[in-house]
Chain A
Amino acid sequence: MTKYIVRRTLWFLPVLFAVTLFTFVLMRAIPGGPFSYAGDKSLPPQVVANIEAKYHLDWPMWKQFASYLLGDDIVDRAAYEESLALKRRPSRGLIRGDLGPSFRYRGQTVNDIVATTLPTSAQLGLMAVALALVIGIPAGTIAALKQNSAIDYMATFSAVFFASIPSVVLSPILIYVFALRLNWFPVASWGTKPPYFLGFLPQLAHLNLTFLKHAALPVFALGTGMAAGIARLTRGSLLQVIREDYIRTARAKGLKERLIIVRHALKNSMIPVATILGPLIAAVVTGTFIVEQIFGINGMGKHFVQSIGNRDYPVIIGVTLIYSVLLVIGNLMVDITYAWLDPRIRYD
C-alpha cells in the first residue's frame, strides 16, 4: 500500500510538470505582453521595454520557463547577479517554492497572495464539503431505505432539483431572499482574519455567531449542489447493495436492521460515492470562483478570476498550479479511500 501511494505520487509529477509547461507557454503566447496594453492609458514603448527587461520577458521562451522552474541563479548566473545588484527580486524557481512576482500588485509576490487568500477559500470549501456529506449521505440513505415512499420521492426530487441549480443562479437568489429581503444574514465578506490555526483553520476566538452568519449563505450556495449529487449516488448504490445476497444472509441470521445497514450495507455502498470525491473537489474549486465573486469573499477563486481580467500572468500560473496540486491530492485521496473501502482492489 505504501509502495502504491509512493508510485501514485510520483506519477503526479509529470502531470504537474505538464500543467506548468502548458500554462506557462499559453500565457506567454498570448499576443501582446501584459504591459503593452493597459486599458486606456497605454504605456510608452520605452517604459514597457524596461519593465519587460525587469521581468526577463525579453528572454527566449525556453529560458523564461527554465528560470521559472529552476531559478535565475541556475539558468543565468550573470542576470542573477545583476538583479541582486539592482535590488530586484530574482526568481528562486518553482522547485524552491517561488511562484514569482505579481505583475499587477507591485511589491507583492504570488506566494503572498496565495498565503492571504488560500485559507479563506479552504475554509469555505471544507465547510461546503462537510455540509454536502452531512446532508447528502443521510438523505440518500433514508431515501433508499424508504424506497418508493413519500420521503423517497421528496428526497429524490429535491436532489435532482438542487443538482440542477448552478451556483451562478443559487447565490444571487440566496442573497436576494435571505440577505436583502429577510435581513437574516450579511450580504458580503468573510468572518475570519489571519493569523490562522494550522495555517488555514480559523482561531477558536473567531468561531462565533458572526462567523457562522457570514459563512452560512456561501457555504450553502456551494454545498447544496454537491449534497444533491451525493444523495443521488448514495441512494442508487445503497439500493443495489441491499439486494445483495450477503445482506439477505445478514437478515436471515436475525441481525438488527440498523446493524445490517451500518455494518454491512453502508460501507459497501460508499464505494461509488468515494469515486466522485475527486470531481467533487474540482467542483468545490470552480464553485469558489463564482461564490467568492458574488459574495465578495476575498479568496483565491475571486483573485484568480480577477487576475484573468488583469492579465496578471504569474498569478494565473501560480494559482493554477496550486489548484492542480489540490486536485491531484484529491485524486490520490480518492484512490486511498477506495482501497480502504474495497479490499478486493489490489495494488501491485
Chain B
Amino acid sequence: MAVAEATPTDLDILARKERSPLQESIRRLLHHRVAVASMCFLALVVAVYVFADNSLFAFLTGKPPQPLIAPYRYDGANFVAVNVPPGSRAVSTKGEDLFFLLGTDYLGRDVLSRTLYGTRVSLSVAIAAATVSMLVGLVYGTISGYVGGRTDNIMMRIVDFLYGFPFLIMVILLQTYFKALARQGSSSSTPILTLLVGAAGLAVYFGGASGLTRELDSRHASLVQQLFWAQIGLGVLHLVLGYFAGESLPQVVYTSLLVLIGLAHLGLLALFVYHGIVQKHAARSSRTLFFVGEGLFVVALLLLGVRINVVGGILAVNKKMGGMLLLFIAIGLINWIGMSRLARGQVLSYKQKEFVEAAHSVGASDIRIIGRHLVPNIIGPLIVQETLAIPGYIFTEAFLSFIGLGVDSPTPSWGIMISECYPAIRTYPWQTVAPAAALTLTTLAFNFLGDGLRDALDPRLKE
C-alpha cells in the first residue's frame, strides 16, 4: 500500500498556523451556524439557570433568596390574580403592583417566573445525568475494552443482561419506592448492620495484613504493620469522638474533626499505594483481602462515627433539592449502558493501533496509555453521543414529573407545569404554552448542538 502524496516542504508546514485537532474541531464548530445559535441559546438558558434568583449568593447574607431574572418567586401565590391571561396587571393584598407577562396559573403564580425557574430542574437533570452516565460508561467501557479477555466477556455479559431490562419502567418503580419512602420518612437506622460490616471489614483487613507481613520482606512488612495499627488508632479515635463528643461539641467542630480523621485515613492509604509497597511484592489474594477489608473498615467507621443513617441522609438532601437527587440517581443509573458500549467499541478499535503498541514498547504504564493515548482519541464520539442523549434525559424528567414521580411540588418543572395545566388548556392555554415552548426550545438546541458537534468532530460524516 503505497501512499501517493506530495511531501510538504518545511516552509509549507511552518507557514501553516499551528492547530491541534481540538482547535480544528472548534473552528469547524464555530462555522456551523445552527450550532452556534444553539450554543448562544443554551448560554442564555444557563444564565437563567444560575441567576433566576440569587440563591448562589444568598448564603452569604443569610437571607432567603430573592428573584433576580425571574420577576417573582416560583411559589408566590396571588389569590387576587388566579388564572389571569398574559399581560395582566393586578394589585396584591399588600398593595404591590403586579404584572404578569405570561399570565398566572390556578394558584395565581406567575407563569413566566415558574418557567424560568423550571430551567433549574431540567438543566440539573441534564447535567447530572450526562455526567453520571459519561463517567460510569467511560470507566466501565474503557476497562472492559482495554483489559479484554475474560474480564471483557463477563463485563459485557452484564451489560447485555441489563440492556434487556425495561429501564424506564424500573425508574418509574424506583421513583415510586423513593417517593413512598420520602412520604413515610425513613425508619430508624440499624447500627447493628454497620457494626457487622465494620467487624467483617476489620477481620478481612487483619487477615490481609497478616498475609502481607508473611509475604513481604521485613522492611515492607513492618510498614504494613505500622499502617495497620495507625488505622486502628484512627478508628478508635473516630469511635470515641463519635460516641462521646458527638453531642457536646458544636456541630461544625465535630464534623470538621471527623473529616480530618477521614482524610488522614485516606492519606495514609494513598501514601502506601503510591510507594507501591503492596502491589509489587505480594500475592494477589492477600492484596485483595487487604484492600477490601480496608475499604469496608473505613466505610463502617465513617458510618458509625458520623452516625448518620444513609437512607435518611439521602432523603433529607433529596427533600432540600425538591426531589431532584433521586431523579438524578435514577436517570443517571440507566444511561451509562449505551455509553459504556460505545466506549468499549472505541477502545477496542484504538487498542489495536500501532501508536498504542508504540507506547507499550517505550514502556508506558497502562494508566498512561489509557489517559494519554486512548481517552483523548475516543472522547469525541462519546461527547457527541452524550449531547444527543441530553434531550432524552430532559424528556424523561418531564415525563416522570408529568405522571407525578418527578420533583416535588411546588418546585417548578416544565413537566409538572404541563401536567397541572393541560386539563384546563381550553380556557387557559397560556399556562401550558410557556413551559411547552421552553421544553421544546431547549431540547431543540441540544439536538442541533449535538449535530453540529458530530460534524465538527468527525468531518468525514458531513461532506
Contacts and interface: CB of A to CB of B under 8 A. Distances in A.
Contact of A22 (B170, B429, B440): B170
A31 to B, nearest CB: 4
A316 B176 contact: yes
Contacts of A176: 425-426, 429, 432
B41 interface: no
Interface stretch (A57-65, A288-296, A339-347): A288-296
Contacts of B169: 285-286, 320, 323-324
Contacts of A285: 166, 168-169
B173 A23 contact: yes
A172 interface: yes
Contacts of A160: 444, 447-448, 451
Nearest to B419: A168
B181 interface: yes
Contact of A168 (B176, B399, B444): B399
Interface in A146-174: 160-161, 163-166, 168-169, 171-173
A319 to B, nearest CB: 9
B176 A327 contact: no
B412 to A, nearest CB: 15
A323 B447 contact: no
B103 to A, nearest CB: 15
Contacts of B399: 166, 168, 286, 289-290
A43 interface: no
A85 interface: no
Contacts of B461: 236
Contacts of B440: 164-166, 169
Contact of A169 (B165, B180, B418): B418
B398 interface: yes
B173 A27 contact: yes
Given A31-B181, A160-B444, A305 B403 contact: yes
A171 B421 CA distance: 13
Contacts of A282: 166, 168
Interface in A305-328: 305, 308-309, 311, 316, 320, 323-324, 327-328
A293 B401 CA distance: 13
Interface string B153-174: 0000000010111101110111
Given A308-B172, A323-B166, A324-B166, A164 B403 contact: no
A305 B444 CA distance: 28
Nearest to B391: A164
Nearest to A328: B164
A173 B440 CA distance: 12
Contact of A327 (B164, B425, B447): B164
Among B169, B403, B426, residue most surrounded by chain A Cβ atoms (within 10 Å):
B169
Nearest to B418: A168
B254 interface: no
Interface in A6-38: 11-12, 14-15, 18-19, 22-23, 26-27, 29-32
B422 interface: yes
A: interface residue count bin: 35 or more
Contacts of A324: 165-166, 169
Contacts of B384: none
Nearest to B439: A169
B422 A172 contact: yes
A163 B447 contact: yes
A134 interface: no
B439 to A, nearest CB: 6
B108 to A, nearest CB: 21
Interface string B388-405: 000100110011001111
Given A23-B173, A176-B426, A305-B403, A168 B166 contact: no
Contacts of A293: 402-403
A192 interface: no
B161 A15 contact: yes
A180 interface: yes
A121 interface: no
Contacts of A175: 422, 425
Interface residues of B, number: 43
Contacts of B104: none
B403 A289 contact: yes
A286 B168 contact: yes
Contacts, number: 123
A11 B418 CA distance: 41
Nearest to B184: A31
B165 A164 contact: no
B164 A309 contact: no
Contact of B403 (A14, A31, A172, A308): A308
Contacts of B174: 26
B11 to A, nearest CB: 36
B241 interface: no
B165 A18 contact: yes
A245 B419 CA distance: 52
Nearest to B186: A31
Interface string B438-455: 011001100110010000
A67 interface: no
A171 B164 CA distance: 29
A180 B425 contact: yes
B270 to A, nearest CB: 37
Contacts of A32: 180, 184
Of the listed residues B398, B415, B425, the one surrounded by the most CB atoms of chain A closer than 10 A to its CB is B425
A173 B436 contact: yes
B181 A166 contact: no
A166 B180 contact: no
A331 interface: yes
Contacts of B285: none
Contact of B180 (A30, A172, A236): A30
Interface string B409-436: 0000001001100100110010010001
A79 B311 CA distance: 36
A333 B419 CA distance: 34
5 contacts: A19-B170, A31-B181, A180-B425, A308-B403, A328-B164
Interface of A: 11-12, 14-15, 18-19, 22-23, 26-27, 29-32, 160-161, 163-166, 168-169, 171-173, 175-176, 180, 236, 282, 285-286, 289-290, 293-294, 305, 308-309, 311, 316, 320, 323-324, 327-328, 331
Given A19-B170, A168-B418, A172-B422, 14 more contacts: A15-B164, A22-B173, A23-B173, A26-B177, A168-B395, A169-B439, A172-B425, A175-B425, A180-B426, A282-B166, A282-B168, A290-B402, A294-B422, A327-B164
Interface of B: 161, 163-166, 168-170, 172-174, 176-177, 180-181, 184, 187, 391, 394-395, 398-399, 402-405, 415, 418-419, 422, 425-426, 429, 432, 436, 439-440, 443-444, 447-448, 451, 461
Q: Which 9 A-B pairs have the closest CB atoms?
A: A164-B444, A169-B436, A172-B422, A31-B184, A164-B443, A30-B180, A15-B164, A166-B395, A305-B403
